[in-house]
Amino acid sequence: MDQQKIVNEVQPALVDLEQQRQKHLERLEKGTIYYGIATFLMFLTFLSTILIAKWCLLLGIVSVILVLVLRSFAIGDPFNDYKEEYKNNIIKRVVKMINPTVVYRPRKVVFKFTLEKSRILGKVNDFRGEDFFKGQTTKGYPFQFSEIHLMGEHSASLLYFKGLFFVMKNPVEMKGQILIFPKKINDPLDWIAPISSNKNQPPKIKYNPLQIANQPLEFKQKYVAYSNNHKEAVQVLTTAFLETIVELSEQWKTAFRIAFIEDKIYLALPSTVNYFEDKMYLEATHQFIVTGLYKELTKSLNVLEQVGTALEAVPKLKIELNKEKPKITQSNNWEDSAYNHFIDDEF
């Protein structure tokens, strides 16, 4: 469905969302009254401490805390409430119109194990994320992606990655592994961490730099590739695929990290943009609400479409395709317990 049709279809839901937005703005205005009272009490506390006694300071602080607690109960969190309404009532509708196979869960995120298994983000100590999407491309390649913020051993306790993390079933049946890093990362192989601390796990895989013939100049300037199976890797990393990576890098104005591990492709796309977020101070019926969302969704889904299409040239080199027929997902009301299993299911 094209953009204008989606705008027209979603318009009634946007009208309802605007009504809710106005109510949330009224709640915020009421909340300023509580802040005013708290400020006035702090002023009285300061004067009382100087003119009367120091015990007034404790009384004043307790009074301010009580006012702020009362505000939280009376007003709640209008920003979070509006965010939930926007994501559940607007994003879910729009993504289904763009690709009916996609399931969207605002509060879900890819598993920590999945991030570490990719071997391109290091060992993850702590992470958070949201906006989980799972579905199939138009050509039938299963995928999932979400927004993530990571902290790990590689950078102590500092945030070292923020952006989108994609997982797609590899259209090509492979035995080896391929890792692709931006050249600006120092010692990229230091990011590779064991999947677990299990002493019985297989020995660390040895990755060697790849020498790829006829690689695009832009790719050679921006990226470095490693593999434990050189012969297979040079077949998979065709000129068409490398050109696709360069093109996507230009579209997103950043460099990807990419891994081919077992039957999956992992793509980490760093970004300072917070995607799929509401804009509470912008009128909900404003056309930009849907057009901006449409652009973000189609741009994200297009990463998977382009990668899948580029790899379809590989079977000409007698490597077996690993492709499925698209399936339309209709269910939108799974319980969280069941959905947690669904997230990490094999494609």
41 or 332: whose pLDDT is higher? 41
What pLDDT, on the 0 to 100 scale, is given for residue 202? 43
What pLDDT, on the 0 to 100 scale, is given for residue 296? 93
What pLDDT, on the 0 to 100 scale, is given for residue 155? 46
Query: Is the same domain home to 116 and 198?
Result: yes
Query: Is the same domain home to 70 and 119?
Result: no
Is 320 part of a structural domain of the chain?
Answer: yes
**Which of 41-50, 69-78, 242-251 is the most confident on average?**
242-251
Residue type, 177: Q
Domain hosting 315: range is 100-343
Query: Is the same domain home to 143 and 280?
Result: yes
Is 41 part of a structural domain of the chain?
Answer: yes
| Mean pLDDT lowest among 20-24, 46-50, 310-314, 337-341 | 337-341
Query: Is the same domain home to 136 and 49?
Result: no
Q: State the average pLDDT for the chain.
A: 79
Is 131 part of a structural domain of the chain?
Answer: yes
Is the distance from CB of 224 to CB of 181 less than 8 angstroms? yes
Query: Is the same domain home to 160 and 261?
Result: yes
Number of domains in the chain: 2
Query: Is the same domain home to 177 and 265?
Result: yes
What pLDDT, on the 0 to 100 scale, is given for residue 79? 83
**Which of 48-57, 170-179, 323-332 is the most confident on average?**
170-179
pLDDT tops 90 at residue 266: yes
What pLDDT, on the 0 to 100 scale, is given for residue 189? 62
Q: What secondary structure does DSSP assign to 215-232, as a single string?
A: --HHHHHHEEEEES-HHH
Mean pLDDT of 234-260: 92
Is 84 part of a structural domain of the chain?
Answer: no
Is 214 part of a structural domain of the chain?
Answer: yes
pLDDT tops 50 at residue 140: yes
Query: Is the same domain home to 164 and 270?
Result: yes
Is the distance from CB of 167 to CB of 265 less than 8 angstroms? yes
Residue type, 115: L
Is 93 part of a structural domain of the chain?
Answer: no
202 or 258: whose pLDDT is higher? 258
pLDDT tops 70 at residue 240: yes
Mean pLDDT of 85-112: 94
Q: Would you call 304 helix, strand, or coil by DSSP? A: helix
Choose one of 76, 108, 139: the last residue of a domain.
76
Is 218 part of a structural domain of the chain?
Answer: yes
Query: Is the same domain home to 70 and 106?
Result: no
pLDDT tops 50 at residue 200: no
Query: Is the same domain home to 109 and 252?
Result: yes
Mean pLDDT of 159-177: 87
Query: Is the same domain home to 52 and 186?
Result: no
* Residue 316: alpha-carbon gap to chain centroid: 33
188 or 148: whose pLDDT is higher? 148
Measure the N-to-C terminal CA separation of the chain; round to a whole number of Å: 26
299 or 273: whose pLDDT is higher? 299
Burial class (CB in 10 A: 0-12, 13-18, 19+), 110: buried
What pLDDT, on the 0 to 100 scale, is given for residue 332? 44
Is the distance from CB of 78 to CB of 29 less than 8 angstroms? no
Choose one of 24, 44, 76: the last residue of a domain.
76
What pLDDT, on the 0 to 100 scale, is given for residue 180? 93
Q: pTM of the prediction?
A: 0.78
Is the distance from CB of 315 to CB of 321 less than 8 angstroms? yes
Query: Is the same domain home to 69 and 109?
Result: no
Percent of the chain with pLDDT over 90: 33
- Bridge partners of 321, per DSSP, are 172
What pLDDT, on the 0 to 100 scale, is given for residue 150? 83
| Mean pLDDT lowest among 110-124, 132-146, 241-255 | 110-124
Please give the DSSP secondary-structure letter assigned to residue 313. T
Is 88 part of a structural domain of the chain?
Answer: no
Query: Is the same domain home to 106 and 72?
Result: no
